[in-house]
């Protein structure tokens, strides 16, 4: 996946007086650098979905544990009162 339109970027450089070979190399280098940075530091939709799934499972586990704890406490209190 191309991060930037390297052809348009190179054309703009050429129009501003940068030699064609230099403009092409700059466009290619910038595109590669941006791809590396973004691929290492940006969460993808899949990453976010996986995290969401883990969080839902974690919250569900906490809710179940709290419910069991509260029910256990209520039962223990009822036994103590009778």
Which pair of structure tokens corresponds to residue 59? 């919250």
What is the chain's pLDDT, residue by residue, as a tens digit (82 residues)?
567 888 899 999 999 999 999 999 999 999 988 888 877 777 888 989 999 999 999 999 999 999 999 999 999 999 999 8
Compute the distance between CA of residue 42 and CA of residue 48 in angstroms, rounded to an integer: 10
């Amino acid at each position: 996946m191309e991060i930037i339109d390297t052809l348009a970027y190179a054309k703009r450089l050429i129009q501003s007086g940068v030699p064609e070979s230099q403009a092409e190399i700059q466009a290619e280098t910038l595109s590669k650098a941006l791809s590396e940075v973004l691929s290492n530091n940006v969460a993808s939709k899949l990453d976010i979905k996986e995290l969401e799934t883990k969080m839902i499972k974690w919250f569900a586990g906490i809710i179940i544990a709290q419910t069991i704890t509260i029910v256990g406490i209520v039962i223990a209190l009822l036994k103590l009162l009778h």
